Structure 1
């Protein structure tokens, strides 16, 4: 089983980095093949170039795709499952992760396909794991949790995945109160991810 992790956080001293390591350790214990696309470590360019805008805005698929985006396409095509790991900043993923979707889910690949163009394969399982300072109860009460789920699961992952799941690891402002609960939630999600789809 090939699993791609798209990871976005600037600091190895973060709780999100600890979550990444927990996910990697569990999956390696299950003999999964892992590839990590660490956006900050790779200095991923999150902003569309002018050529990319011209390609996307006019659906001009004759314009070339940037080499770094082609490399992300390779990683996707090699994956059976994809996990996105990031912190919640201002009710969404970091700008670099948003930029990954802007650039990698390119026209003629992830949407607006034509018969003669390469097409993003359907991924068996897509998982979102995000860390949030506020407790889940608060995020649900004010509607932010539902908004994040709609954007990530319904729009960004969309019909490109057979099964999708989002895990919001809230309450990290008081991390010692939630750390063990989070570990169990992560294990449960990864069992679903490994065992899904036959």
Structure 2
């Protein structure tokens, strides 16, 4: 039995790698924009949960004997969900709005086990953004790093310079909450240690 990650996100893969797991990578082909458009009246948690579930269920039939994990993250600021900025201009606009403020990074998780048993959970972590200078915002946007990231930032790379603190699960901010996934795997009747590949685990320095 393997853990299958229904995502091409290098950050999510890195979280699992650091936790001793070498997942099978099978990105889900889901029209996120269309799904979000159909959930205009839904609560923020319902939106990210629906996206995560759509991804996991899309991939699960191809891996009937494995554990499939689908995730989706969005930033909640002023009651509005923010997805990926996708361009430098959108990144600059986002950061000018969110700098010096606190928002919530919401990640939906869907874990599907053998036989189709499914657990869907949403995790929230508060993010306190630094009062970043205009020059640094523009330089960060120009790198392209935040274009495909919920909330237009990363915690574990260049964006870490611009986050003053977080309140809650740090792995959730990176895109996959290990505590949430652990609980789901337990509920599906398995132990996380059964998925460890310690020879592939990065060595701490």
User: What TM-score comes out, normalization by structure 2 length?
Assistant: 0.35
| More strand, by proportion | 2
User: What TM-score comes out, normalization by structure 1 length?
Assistant: 0.36
